[in-house]
């Protein structure tokens, strides 16, 4: 499946993902810029590394998960 960018060291909070973006195919961000997505539209139950998530305008491949204290 196609995706627009990779997000590494990510955590999920309140239906959005925070993390470091890599390989942004749309050219919006430089590698390792800390970003957050808009609201995730895909199913967020049991979200894990390797999943592709969908937001209003983008699809992201989730790389390595960051530490979220859980």
Q: What is the pLDDT of residues 1-59, one digit of tens each?
A: 799 999 999 999 999 999 999 999 999 999 999 999 999 998 888 999 999 999 999 99
Domain segments of the chain: what residues? 5-62
CA distance 48 to 9: 12
| pLDDT over 90 at 69, yes or no | no
Distances (CA, A) of 40 to 8, 60: 16, 10
Q: Three-class SS string for 11-50?
A: EEECCEEEEEEECCCCCCCCCCEEEECCCCCCCCCCCCCC
pTM, full prediction: 0.92
């Amino acid at each position: 499946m196609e995706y627009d960018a990779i997000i590494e060291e990510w955590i999920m909070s309140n239906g959005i993902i925070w993390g470091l973006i890599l390989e942004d195919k749309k050219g919006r961000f430089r590698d390792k810029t800390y970003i957050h997505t808009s609201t995730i539209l895909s199913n967020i139950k049991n979200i894990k590394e390797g999943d592709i998530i969908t937001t209003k305008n983008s699809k992201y491949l989730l790389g390595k998960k960051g530490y979220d204290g859980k």
